[in-house]
Structure formats: structure tokens, C-alpha cells
Amino acid sequence: MIHRAGKNGNSGLWQVQARQDSSFAKYIALDTAYVENWSFWLDLKILVRTAEVVVRGTGT
């Protein structure tokens, strides 16, 4: 497993993919997938999806 050190952000993979899922295991799986597959493009995709969630108001 690859470990990355860094500050927590305002958004993440689970916030845009599984926000309505209250399963802690799902959150951990998505965070792990993020760390293992990190790239500039993945971060860009998350930023775009975060904006969509905010604009549509589906992030509740």
C-alpha cells in the first residue's frame, strides 16, 4: 500500500460518490482507493464533481 502524507481537503472521493451512504466501511474503501490511485486528474475530477454537488444541492 502507498502512504501519502498531507493535509485533509474540503472534499474527497467519498464525499462526491457516497455522501448518502452512511457505511463507514464504504468511506474507508473509497479513501483507500483514492490513496492508491491518486493523480492530478483524479483530484480535478473530484473538484468538478464537488462543484456539481454544491450547485445541484444534492450534498445533503
Q: Is the pTM of this model over 0.75?
A: no
CA–CA–CA angle 42, 22, 11 (5° rounding): 30
Residue 4 or residue 34, greater confidence: 34
- Of 55, 56, 49, nearest in space to 15 by CA: 49
Q: What is the structure's pLDDT at 6?
A: 53
pLDDT higher than 50, residue 1: no
Assigned C-alpha cell, 47? 473538484
Would you state the torsion angle of the CA atoms of residues 52, 27, 35, 43, taken in this order, to the nearest 10 degrees? 10
CB 16 within 8 A of CB 50: yes
* pLDDT (tens digit per residue) in 15-56: 777 767 768 888 888 888 888 998 999 989 988 988 887 888
